Amino acid sequence: TPTPPPTPPPPVESLPIPPSPPRACAPPERVAVTGASGRTGRLVVAELRSRGIRVVALARNVSKTTALLPAGDDLEVVACDHLDAADVARCAGGCDAAMWCATGFAEPTPPPPAPVKEPEPEPENSFLDRLKNLLGLSAPEPPPPEPEPVVEPEGPGPKTSIDLVGVPALAKALAPVRGGDGADGGETDDGDARPLPKVVMLSSAGVTRPAWDAAKKERFPGSAEIPIVRLNPFGILGIKADSEQRLRDSGTPYCIFRPTGLNDDWPAGSRPILSQGDLAVGRIHRSDVAAVLVACLLSPAATGKTFEGSALAGYAPAPSLDGALARLGVDADGPPAAAALDATYAALQQILPGEKQDAAALAMGQTYEQLDGGVTGRLGKRGEEDAEGPGAAPKPSS
């Protein structure tokens, strides 16, 4: 019996057509950076430039920033008043995205003095007025007004956090034109994958902890009792938390990274450990912070997410953070569940530096190694530190 011929394949027209993959996100070509003269900001600028991205440094002090950053065709330093939303928008104009690496306080720019009004010339007297004056019938001239008392200011005006003003101003300046931009980490209205972040904010681990209730602080003492949270110098944690929320509420695609203790003695090139729930404690080198920030700027998986990060020494970083970022939840879905928080806390406490691994026992200015050896830190014993006095960390600035 002859073998039947094979069944011919169906015509090409009848084959199912696979759906088109999501449109790839074009990486930014020109990025605005605040705090570019700071220790972390300088590393962010270098990381961006190493990837072929042009940088516009929004500087409060142009001469200082210019002196600290290597010159090049891929760098522009512009003067920017971070407390003036219109000026922030002007300086960020033409940029595809922005990195907020600044923090600190500044005095608002005073308004220009009111123009001096020239006195109007007195009208010429009419014939009737001159006649009244001649006969002594005119009304007497009114007495001159009493001069306004001069009140001398008691001191410099109140300072304002540049974070609270500059972060939402930058987000507004970079807000997408059309709706359905996927700012919350979801897909866009036309089915495209979520976009890249337009604003990546450098915040800080611990920003929510001063507001925790007593039960939560007791549940996670290794996170709630660390020095920066106990003392909260200059109220900076609350300011950062408020600034974060203003960015989330802006509608602009964003990412917020909260590193743990910045420590340039910790090995650079360590593996970032990302988590959520504001439980992270530990150390991370500033160069690793810069690498994470730029990776977030280039990854759609980072959009609409807030997360913390420390670094695990002895383990090289992964070639890409996309996998770790993809496993994080988007802010729009709400905070992690209680069970997830318990598991995260238990895991993170095991990778603390030092032998005692007791972050709650640290004094401000004391290292884990000093705690292990019973050595008092540079600001004194725990509970006796002056976090805002001489020798303490300087008031936050870029």
Q: Which residues touch 232 (CB under 8 Å, ≥6 apart)?
A: 210, 238, 387
- The pLDDT of residue 172: 95
Helix (H) or strand (E) holding 133: helix 127-135
Q: Which of 231, 317, 335, 332 is nearest to 275 (CA)?
A: 335
Beta strands at 75-79 and 283-284: parallel, antiparallel or unpaired: unpaired
Using CA atoms, how far apart are residues 88 and 79, in angstroms rounded to an integer? 10
The 10s digit of each residue's pLDDT in 103-151 is 877 665 555 555 555 555 555 555 556 555 555 555 555 565 565 554 4
CA of residue 254 relative to chain centroid, distance: 10
Contact at 8 Å (CB) between 25 and 48? no
The 10s digit of each residue's pLDDT in 303-339 is 999 999 999 999 999 999 999 999 999 999 999 999 9
- The pLDDT of residue 153: 37
